[in-house]
Chains A and B, each alone.
Chain A
Amino acid sequence: MLILECPYCGVMADETDLHGGGEAHLKRFGPGSSDDDFETYLFHRKNPKGVHFERWRHVSGCGKWFHAARNTMTLEVYGTYSAQTTEPPKAIVNAVKKKHPEWEGWT
């Protein structure tokens, strides 16, 4: 059972206090988008063995959505950060790169 730090209220929250929201940094496609773009937005999700960026909500806490960068294999958490961004913060990207030089990046 994971522990993630809520970046809003600072609580080290148990997974039971959180609600998982799947892959982070999805770009929404609405009316006017191509069938392919819309299908990708709606259905295609990464399922990496390794570094992953996820959405979580501190549902039994402050209620805020945030993002977590973690490793699905080692369970290492590289950091949590605001959900109000379209890409992960540089510091977290650098922390992952330092640990995994072979990592291909978050996109």
Chain B
Amino acid sequence: MSTRLAQGGRLIDRSKPKNFTFNGKRMKGYEGDTLAAALLGENQMLVGRSFKYHRPRGIVASGAEEPNALVNMGQGGRFEPNQRVTTTELFDGLTCTSQNHWPSLEFDVGVVNNYAARFLPAGFYYKTFMAPAAAWKHVFEPIVRQSAGLGKVPTEADVDRYEHFYYHTDVVVIGGGVAGLAAALAAGRSGAKVLVMEQTHHWGGRAPVDGGEIDGQSVEDWIAATLAELEGMENVTLRTRMMGSGVYDHGYVLGYERVADHTPGDGRPRHRLWRIRTKQIVTATGAIERPLSFAGNDIPGVMLASAVRDYVVNWGVSIGDRTVVVTNNDDAYRTALALKEAGLEVPVILDARDEATGPLAEAARDAGIRVEPGRAIAKVNGGKRVTGVSICLQAGEGAALEEIPCDAVAMSGGWSPVVHLWSHCGGKLIWDEAQAHFRPDPDRAPTGHDGEAFVVTAGAASGAMSLADTLENAYEAGKTAAKAAGGKAVRKAGPKAEAEEAQPMAPVWIMPQGAGPQKRMKMWLDYQNDVKVSDVQLAAREGYESVEHTKRYTTLGMATDQGKLSNINGLAVLSDALGQPIPATGTTTFRPPYTPISFGAIAGEARHEIFQPIRRTPMHQWHEEAGAYMEPVGHWRRPYCYAKPGETNEQAVHREVLNTRERLGLLDASTLGKLIVKGPDAGKFMDMMYTNMMSTLAVGKCRYGLMCTENGFLSDDGVVARIDEDTWLCHTTSGGADRIHAWMEEWLQTEWWDWKVYVANVTEQFAQVAVVGPNARKLLEKLGGMNVSKETLPFMQWADGKIGDFDARVYRISFSGELSYEIAVPASQGRAFWDTLLEAGEELGVMPYGTECLHIMRAEKGFIMIGDETDGTVIPQDLGLNWAISKKKEDFLGKRAQLRSHMTDPARWKLVGLETLDGSVLPDGAYAVGEGDNVHGQRNMIGRVTSTYYSPTLKKGIAMGLIKHGPDRMGEVVDFPTVDGSNTVIKARICDPVFYDKDGEKQNV
């Protein structure tokens, strides 16, 4: 069993106990514990079930590489799944539960998958697609859905807050181990501005666990002295609990600071995302130990040798009383010695190398530990916990030589430098034959804007595996980065350690090397995704030669750990199966973040009302006070309708329509885009932007215009007014003003830059009100001022003048089919103007109306709406708008495209009106079906509904739609099958899209 030892634990404070619960069970740890250390201290080795086979899984590692020990953390608004216990600091009141099992962690029904493992091979998911379709629907999909996903989805909104922080510096050092500190020392001494980040809450990394001396001091004393020196430098900033999450183009770094994960609810932001710009980056990210692949290497109690050592030295926790050490390198001997020193038993060290001759092996022998070279683990015995190991020859096929009872296994397959951050932005790797790992190639570093390297690695992250090499490499890295960032030359010598003698490691990818299929099916490569040696070998046999394909086929190295622990083991097995050297196989792509970061940190402050800026018209407050139901239109909020007490929104909309048609309505049209196009070449430019001829528009007149993309598709529409000889005012859609402004700028700046034209967006400079209905003129005449009679200001003209006391520009344009004046006043006068219109209009029956009323009235008139009748694939010709396309102009944007064969195809769907035979309202977006089936056995489509409403004016459903050969089929009836499950068909007759006042008499009075 694992337990808390009576003594030891350099990181814990035994005077400060912390209480927590796991699966509802009360447990105790100490300040300084990780949740992993505390769980192990309470003998909670089993922490979860594996993803696919639901095998019992325990803690394997002590850091960010942990694949198994993921828990549901917290409750309610602080619930979060998939939290790694090895990187979670213990705090009082922490609650967590294990994941991926039912009904309980101890007894899990899903474990039947384990016995069916041979029916769930690599690529199982993809292979299900080769079965008949019915099997997928009735057999595979229910199974796959049931077992998909880790953890539980939170059900409540996150109660914590998060923030972003912007930071500029010269050098960022990522990693606060001895390498990071040595690099920071060099960079700090150069005078450069330095930021050092360490992902845990303590400095020094794992060097204090390994021991040794630096500059004649113990490692711990050197760390303390170095920290004191760095803290004394004004140019150095030190941050713990902050992970280097990603390295991006041109020196951009994301730092993920877990400010208050260990003090939830204390008012501080939970996470802070540092968005850093730096000249140089030093990655001192250390190395991660690899597991060994032997049968049963996933049974709880099998752990990385370095992790076993960490738990004993850092937290005073023993994983077992009797620990078998199995290794292919010298480092694991340190674990054996540490266990021995803590008074624990190490029955044997199995060294896969033919001989064990290094000084550490000698020290182990001197300590009385049995050392067995050339030996391997044939299999681990046990279910939910290790009970013993069978020993065999590494060179053989696994015949057991001896059974050794034990309750823990410490394994070491060598060390892989953490190259993620180096690789994020293009740093390349080389294969180091002696260490059997990929390490950064200093000659192929990530390059910045000047083509020069901007990332340098330090210490174990460079592949320097001894303390002496680490310090030398890291101090040099700090100097290199500081110099490149413009720091002074550093003359002061760096820290030194004694060189140690070491016996070379031997690569061991399978243990024993001749293991048969039975054993290979129990050798886990990727613990989180349940990928075994046999799965990778199967993938290779089935033709998956690219490592990227094998990854996706087997899921090797996917999910939350992204193969930190054992990807190299998988690559080695794949290389062996393909008969090629490991560097020829290569690695999968390393992508940010290094470990998962919270969505909250990514979102930062951008939540709720400040998620996005809201644009408000000058009358916005009036609408809100009137209780308007608002809807988003671009960044605007516009009134959808103004429901009165006791009225539904639908009733309100219908009232607004009828009142506007019979009396008088007011619409806040301020959101309508208003662009001024001005200059000697403005007419020429307008003719290019619009499909219509705009250069010939007379001063004082208005014209409805269409804009297309170079693809010929309709992009925006609106009424253009000729203001003077050099000036046009273009109305755009409410959501389109900024886009169309940018579109005009793009053409003026990049294609016709010699044309003398300026464009200004004056949308927010004016408040605009549509005064609509038979009483519209009476209202304006009551207010007095300019002449708004039919004779002086006829339809489709505009004039400047006064309405009452207000300076106004009045357009006689109509989107409703009624007598209508759109009146622009200075934005500052908008609210006063609106109030004046409402007050004076009272006796004329005035009511404000919203966007839905506007939509219905325009549909009754057969006017198109960008975004309803258009969707980026519709050309003006489809909508019967040929009258708005100039035939005289040589060129306009979209003209050439509209001549392409597909655009002139007579079979294109074209706009028509639709009236249901029973007067009902067609569903929005409903498809019309024709004769016959397509290749998928579905009915052939011949059109679709683009706008559909109940018309209060006509007291029946009206719709517009695009129908194949539509205009040639007037009076014919087409079928619209419903999709609501009723299996009914709605029949509608094709008709003219103008349902109301076909001759346009009402707007022209």
Contact = CB atoms under 8 A, between A and B. Distances in A.
Nearest to B709: A42
Interface in A39-60: 42, 55, 57, 59
A33 to B, nearest CB: 6
A90 interface: no
A21 B891 contact: no
A35 interface: yes
Given A3-B449, A76-B447, A76-B451, A31 B746 contact: no
Choose among B426, B447, B449, B900 the residue with the greatest number of A CB atoms under 10 Å from its CB.
B449
B745 A63 contact: yes
Contact of A65 (B449, B711, B749): B749
B746 A65 contact: yes
Given A65-B746, A74-B426, A83-B750, A1 B249 contact: yes
A75 B448 contact: yes
B215 interface: no
A15 interface: yes
B252 interface: yes
Interface string B885-909: 0000011000111011000000000
For A29, A30, A32, A33, the residue with the greatest tally of chain B CB atoms inside 10 Å of its CB is A30
Interface string A1-30: 111000000000011000001000000111
Given A42-B711, A83-B749, A84-B749, A74 B248 contact: no
Contacts of A21: 746, 750
B710 interface: yes
Interface in B740-760: 742, 745-746, 749-751, 753
Contacts of B447: 74-76
Contact of B750 (A15, A33, A38, A65): A65
Contacts of A64: 749
Contacts of B449: 2-3, 75-77
A35 B745 contact: no
Contacts of A84: 749-750, 753
A73 B249 CA distance: 11
Given A35-B900, A42-B711, A74-B447, A30 B750 contact: no
B250 A2 contact: yes
A63 B758 CA distance: 13
A84 B449 CA distance: 23
B426 A31 contact: no
B449 to A, nearest CB: 5
A77 B452 CA distance: 11
Nearest to A63: B745
B450 interface: yes
B891 A31 contact: yes
Contact of A15 (B249, B746, B753, B896): B249
Interface string A71-88: 101111100000110000
B426 A42 contact: no
A87 to B, nearest CB: 14
Contact of A74 (B451, B749, B750, B895): B451
For the side of the interface on B, what is the size category?
A: 20 to 34
Interface in B862-894: 890-891
A78 to B, nearest CB: 9
A75 B896 contact: no
A55 B750 contact: yes
Contacts of B745: 63, 65
Nearest to A59: B742
Nearest to A28: B751
A27 to B, nearest CB: 10
A63 to B, nearest CB: 7
A74 B753 CA distance: 32
A26 B252 CA distance: 31
Contact of B895 (A1, A31, A42): A31
B895 A3 contact: no
A75 B247 CA distance: 13
Contacts of A57: 742, 746
A104 to B, nearest CB: 19
Contacts of B900: 35, 38
The listed residue with most A CB atoms (<10 A of its CB), out of B277, B746, B749, B895, is B749
A73 B428 CA distance: 12
B212 to A, nearest CB: 39
A6 B850 CA distance: 43
A65 B891 CA distance: 24
Contacts of A73: 426
Given A30-B895, A35-B900, A42 B249 contact: no
B896 A1 contact: no
Nearest to A29: B896
Interface string B627-640: 00000000000000
B249 A2 contact: yes
Contacts of A1: 248-250, 252
Interface string B695-710: 0000000000000001
A31 B451 contact: no
B694 to A, nearest CB: 18
Contact of B710 (A14, A42, A59, A77): A42
A104 B486 CA distance: 35
Contact of B250 (A3, A35, A42, A71): A3
A1 B448 CA distance: 11
A38 B895 CA distance: 11
Contacts of A31: 890-891, 895-896, 899
A31 B895 CA distance: 7
Contacts of A63: 745
Nearest to B741: A63
Interface in B453-507: none
Nearest to B901: A35
A32 B896 CA distance: 8
Contacts of A33: 896
Contacts of B890: 31
Interface in B206-257: 248-252
A76 B447 CA distance: 7
B451 A71 contact: yes
Nearest to B893: A30
A5 to B, nearest CB: 9
B472 to A, nearest CB: 29
Interface string B275-312: 00100000000000000000000000000000000000
Contacts of B251: 3
Nearest to A76: B451
From B248, B249, B711, B896, residue with most partner A Cβ within 10 Å:
B896
Given A3-B449, A30-B891, A31-B890, A75 B749 contact: no
Interface string B709-753: 011000000000000000000000000000000100110011101
Contacts of B891: 30-31
B426 A75 contact: yes
Interface string B431-460: 000000000000000111111000000000
B819 to A, nearest CB: 40
Interface in B16-58: none
A74 B446 CA distance: 7
Contacts of B250: 1-3, 75
27 contacts: A1-B249, A2-B449, A3-B251, A3-B277, A14-B277, A30-B895, A30-B896, A31-B890, A38-B900, A42-B710, A42-B711, A42-B897, A57-B746, A59-B742, A63-B745, A74-B447, A75-B249, A75-B425, A75-B446, A76-B447, A76-B450, A76-B451, A83-B750, A84-B749, A84-B750, A84-B753, A99-B451
Interface of B: 248-252, 277, 425-426, 446-451, 710-711, 742, 745-746, 749-751, 753, 890-891, 895-897, 899-900
6 tightest CB-CB pairs across the interface, nearest first?
Answer: A76-B451, A84-B753, A1-B252, A65-B749, A74-B447, A77-B449
Given A1-B250, A30-B895, A83-B749, 18 more contacts: A3-B277, A14-B277, A28-B751, A30-B891, A42-B711, A42-B897, A55-B750, A57-B742, A59-B742, A63-B745, A64-B749, A65-B749, A71-B451, A74-B426, A75-B250, A75-B426, A75-B448, A77-B450
